[in-house]
Amino acid sequence: MFRTLYSKLLTFFLILSLGGILLVGVAIYFGVQETFQEYLINKREGQIKQVVMELENTYELEGDITVEPLWMMLHHYGFQEQLFFHVFNRNGELIIDTAQMNNGMGQHMMSSPPMGSVNIESDIFDYIEHPLVVNGEQIGVVKAFFPSAFLQGDVDFLTQFNKYLIGAVIIMIIVSLILSFIFSKRLTTGLKGIANATGALRNHQLDIQVKADSKVEEIDELAKGINELAASLKEGERLRKQFTSDLAHELRTPLTTLRSQLESIQDGIFYPTKERLDQCHHELMRLVRLVNEMEELHAAENPRIRLNLEQHNAKETIHSLYDRFQPMFKQKGINLKIKVDEDIQIRADRDRFIQIMTNLLNNALKFTESSGEVQVLVEQIGEGVYISVKDNGIGMTEEELNHIFERFYRGEKSRNRKTGGLGIGLSIVKALMDAHRGEIYVDSKKGRGTTVTIFFY
């Protein structure tokens, strides 16, 4: 049960919320108890000081200690607060006992109910003493007696408060339970959808989509990542199938030619003339080129590829490539131009650099029509070297540009059937430029040509 995230979150939220509510409830309970007790003590001390002050004022006015002006106050304190007083003169004689004032108070306040005799000497009463001082002379002592426990009214107040506190705690617990269930469910619903999506991906269901509407940023980002992963896997699967189809076609054409030629020679239909052997050799070399392309891509994408970085003259290398490609461009009727600034030194692996340029020139040769033009420009920009290969060939659409560096991606199938190859030339270039920590950009317009720009730092 507790292995699911939902159950763990729910348990955590319940423990956290219930623990917090109980702690707050206990803190409020003891806090109110202590605060209420302090309030009663401060209130009682104020009442006692008021009685002492009134007795001292009465002595100053009348020259004797009397309680006649204090009957109502003392009756109220005794009846309502259970606060009683013994007043002693300077000789220590008891002259006033409010606990035994039943008759006297009844005469002064006939409407008041009698208090009756109170035994203030019992254990349920505490007392404190206050001296009566007038003009620096002690004229007597006041003993104030009060219950050591809460009065019934105070107990009733605290009982009622505790009922409200318990009710509030119960309501908060119910609310926390509901919110814990809702929040845990809402939080794990998005994750459950993601878990289901990963299971679907594991079962090769690549059309899965996760809703990114959980209102939780991290979960929504995770859902978007799963969707992007599914789209990427789907595209990879499409490219794999396309590659399989293209590879099968590229292999089938030369193999079919070789098979028909060899079977015809075996059956005595044709003689193994030089022309027929040259045709077989041509188809065989086509197969070799396909295998070489795949090997080059594998080597270029190897993260452990080792580069022999060194400074070499860019002009010499570009002119060497020009001498190599010029006959092929001339045969197709394409004008190949190069422009290289003097004394440009490029820091790169020379063999890999030649491989990069070879792929770029091969692409330009394949996709530029007869009477077209290809320009190679090499410039020094700061500490880097800028190289562009520009043609006015058939160009590419925006859709093709978005996939230009993907392995085995080829745009128009009719065009690629005619040019041959697996569509991995630019993938090799991109991998090698990444290995050199360089950059590559492609700009192309359909029907207007393509410009491939690379930077070496």
* Domain harbouring 351, CATH code: 3.30.565.10
CA angle 80, 84, 88 (to 5 degrees): 155
pLDDT of the residue at 360: 94
Of residues 50, 127, 45, 140, the one with CA closest to residue 87: 140
Maximum pairwise Cα distance, the chain: 158
Is residue 301 within 8 A of residue 431, CB to CB? The reply is: yes
Residues 380 and 313 in one domain: yes
pLDDT tens for each residue of 386-434: 999 999 999 999 888 888 887 656 555 544 444 455 567 888 899 899 9
Q: How far apart are CA 190 and CA 438, in angstroms?
A: 41
pLDDT of the residue at 101: 65
Specify if 173 maps to a domain.
no
Percent of the chain with pLDDT over 90: 32
pLDDT of the residue at 160: 92
Look at 105-119, 172-186, 279-293 and tell me which has the smallest mean pLDDT. Answer: 105-119
Of residues 206, 230, 242, 204, the one with CA closest to residue 407: 242
User: 449 falls in which pLDDT band (50, 70, 90)?
Assistant: very high
pLDDT of the residue at 114: 45
11-15, 259-263, 282-286, 431-435, range with greatest mean pLDDT: 431-435
Residues 283 and 338 in one domain: no
pTM given for the model: 0.51
Residues 409 and 374 in one domain: yes
- Where is the domain boundary, 300, 318, 337? 300
Specify if 187 maps to a domain.
no
Sorted by sequence, the CB contacts under 8 Å of residue 18 that are 6+ apart come out as: 173, 176
3-state helix, strand, coil in the chain (%, to 5): 60, 15, 25
User: 107 falls in which pLDDT band (50, 70, 90)?
Assistant: very low
Q: What's the CATH code of the domain at 74?
A: 3.30.450
Specify if 195 maps to a domain.
no
pLDDT of the residue at 105: 44
Cα atoms in the Cβ-side hemisphere of radius 13 Å centred on 252: 7
pLDDT tens for each residue of 359-386: 999 999 999 999 999 999 999 988 899 9
Specify if 107 maps to a domain.
yes
Residues 63 and 151 in one domain: yes
Q: Please provide residue 138's backbone torsions phi and psi, each rounded to the nearest 5 degrees.
A: -80, 125
Q: How far apart are CA 144 and CA 141, in angstroms?
A: 10
Specify if 179 maps to a domain.
no
Residues 296 and 312 in one domain: no
Q: What's the CATH code of the domain at 248?
A: 1.10.287.130
Residues 315 and 266 in one domain: no
pLDDT at 133 over 80: yes
pLDDT of the residue at 326: 94
pLDDT of the residue at 231: 87
Q: How far apart are CA 454 and CA 37, in angstroms?
A: 85
Q: How far apart are CA 18 and CA 29, in angstroms?
A: 16
Of residues 457, 327, 453, the one with CA closest to residue 378: 453
pLDDT of the residue at 112: 40
Of residues 425, 421, 370, the one with CA closest to residue 393: 370
State mean pLDDT over 110-120. Answer: 50
Residues 12 and 147 in one domain: yes
State mean pLDDT over 286-293. Answer: 80
User: 250 falls in which pLDDT band (50, 70, 90)?
Assistant: confident
- Where is the domain boundary, 235, 266, 300? 300
152 or 422, greater pLDDT: 152
- Where is the domain boundary, 156, 172, 188? 156
Is residue 369 within 8 A of residue 445, CB to CB? The reply is: no
Is residue 445 within 8 A of residue 395, CB to CB? The reply is: yes
Specify if 121 maps to a domain.
yes
Specify if 166 maps to a domain.
no
Which residue type occupies 353?
A: F
pLDDT of the residue at 118: 60
Number of structural domains, the chain? 3
pLDDT at 111 over 50: no
pLDDT at 115 over 50: no
pLDDT of the residue at 436: 92
Sorted by sequence, the CB contacts under 8 Å of residue 293 that are 6+ apart come out as: 421, 422, 424, 425, 428
Residues 280 and 315 in one domain: no
Residue numbers of the domain that contains 321: 308-456
Residues 368 and 242 in one domain: no
Residues 152 and 11 in one domain: yes
Record the tokens describing residue 309, joined without a space. 């970085």
Kind of pairing, strands 373-381 and 335-340?
Answer: parallel
Specify if 84 maps to a domain.
yes
Residues 143 and 13 in one domain: yes
How many angstroms separate the Cα of 172 from the Cα of each of 18, 255, 403? 9, 80, 58
Residues 371 and 405 in one domain: yes
